[in-house]
Amino acid sequence: EAQVTQNPRYLITVTGKKLTVTCSQNMNHEYMSWYRQDPGLGLRQIYYSMNVEVTDKGDVPEGYKVSRKEKRNFPLILESPSPNQTSLYFCASSLTGLAGGAGGGFFGPGTRLTVL
Amino acid sequence: EDQVTQSPEALRLQEGESSSLNCSYTVSGLRGLFWYRQDPGKGPEFLFTLYSAGEEKEKERLKATLTKKESFLHITAPKPEDSATYLCAVQAGETSGSRLTFGEGTQLTVNP
């Protein structure tokens, strides 16, 4: 079954404690991205990756890091989380990053993060 | 800066009552406009991609259209299972891998 998986699905942590949210896709997609969704602000792109070892900033990259060492995985790293990073996070993937070939892609089920 | 505005914020319909959702956008160099459906507690689900003004796409009771300034998602004879938040997003820019910018969505409720 084609899917994007995220772990953990729910996480409560404290300010400053480093954490990683994993994202994995089984469709051999080149393009992967991370979003956060907040009430009143909608979905905002954090980082995206066109392919292995190629990443770029989205609209709200501050406080986040990513890496793309393998095609299937795209972890999101919060090195020193703060309460304003409390949000619902989605990972997504698509065949390519170009509108002409990507379609809309697949989204993961989401990770609800609370930073106290 | 790319901007996407969706209206209305919320819409209540009776089953069978057709209507339209609007997505207005301001971008430099539109490469694609996307429509998604999002159910509570789940990730967005892709519906359509539109690439150029005049293009239309259909799927069951949904039809998406695109002009140079806006897109409409027409819902014909909706059913309660069409209740969801509908999101619009644009991809713009001159280079490959350009960012995706979302609107805040329209929350649709279809009453039986």
Distance from CA of B96 to the nearest CA of A (A): 6
In a structure prediction context, what are the per-residue pLDDT tens digits for chain B, which is 112 residues long? Answer: 788 999 999 999 999 999 999 999 998 888 889 999 999 989 999 998 998 999 999 999 999 999 999 999 999 999 999 999 999 999 887 655 567 889 999 999 999 9
CB contact at 8 A, B108 and B40: no
Band of the pLDDT at A97, cuts 50, 70, 90?
A: low
A100 touches chain B (CB under 8 A): yes
Mean pLDDT confidence for A60-78: 97
Long-range pairs of B62-68 with CB within 8 A, sequence gap ≥ 24 = B62/B35, B64/B35, B66/B33
| Max intra-chain CA distance, chain A | 42
CB contact at 8 A, A5 and A106: no
CB contact at 8 A, A57 and A64: no
Between chains, do A99 and B32 touch, taking CB under 8 Å as contact?
yes
A7 touches chain B (CB under 8 A): no
Closest of B92, B102, B82 to residue B51, by C-alpha = B92
**Residue pLDDT, tens place only, A39-51:** 888 899 999 998 8
DSSP letters, A51-109, are ETTEEEE-S--TT-EE--SSSSB--EEESS--GGG-EEEEEEEES-SSHHHHTT-EE--
Band of the pLDDT at A94, cuts 50, 70, 90?
A: confident
Between chains, do B31 and A110 touch, taking CB under 8 Å as contact?
no
Give residues 33 to 92 of A whose Cβ lies within 8 Å of B. Answer: 33, 35, 40-45, 48, 50, 54, 56, 58-59, 90, 92
Closest of B71, B34, B93 to residue A103, by C-alpha = B34
B51 touches chain A (CB under 8 A): yes
- Predicted confidence at residue A2, as pLDDT, reads 84
**Residue pLDDT, tens place only, A5-24:** 999 999 999 999 999 999 99
